[in-house]
Amino acid sequence: MDAVIESVLIGLGLAMDCFAVTLATGSSAGIDRFKTAIILAATFGLFQGGMTIGGWLLGISFAGFVTRYAPWIAFLLLTGIGVKMCIEGVRGGDTRERPSSLRAGVVIGLAIATSIDALAVGISYALLGVEPVIPSLIIGAVAFCISFAGVYAGIRLAPVLGTRVDFFGGAVLMLIGVKVLADHLALI
């Protein structure tokens, strides 16, 4: 039972980046809310759980390389997408009429970037000798639920944020990217 509670708590911690991203994305989505929520939640949940397993596999192979470069990859992905969204936000216009921000490549890029921490958790599982399957399923399920809620919370915030939603979302992504890199650099 303790392992389940621990996995839920780890999942909640890992899902906070997912929540921030889906909050920002949900506030600019607009076309089919339920479909958007399902796509984002499923993608983020799959990547959180999958990256935990992937991290475990990498951890049993070569942990040093992965832990050195993963934060830089997350930083570049998050800030790159964030800058693009900020530029769109500064240009103005109603971004809710343009579903291009939910292209598959963007969603997958965000899922990868926000699941780098799950990769690190998987590596730590390998180093500690923890079997990753059940914790990974729990982490993925928690990320699904948190991401789904994030989309709907973002939809509620859209009227408050107005037409500058992309700028807000981009700023959130850049801050997460900087946080990931700052956490990594503090460990060096």
Tens place of pLDDT per residue across the chain (188 aa) = 688 988 998 888 888 888 888 887 777 655 677 888 999 999 999 999 999 999 999 888 876 676 677 778 778 777 877 787 678 677 765 443 334 457 888 899 889 988 988 888 888 888 778 899 999 999 999 999 999 999 888 888 777 766 566 677 678 778 877 887 888 787 65
**Can you list the positions of beta strands (E) in 47-158?**
none
- Residue type, position 91, single letter: R
Count of structural domains, the chain: 1
Residue pair 103/40 in contact by the 8 Å Cβ criterion: no
Tell me which residue range forms the domain holding 163.
Answer: 2-187
pTM: 0.73
The Cα angle at residue 39 between residues 88 and 108, in degrees rounded to 5: 60
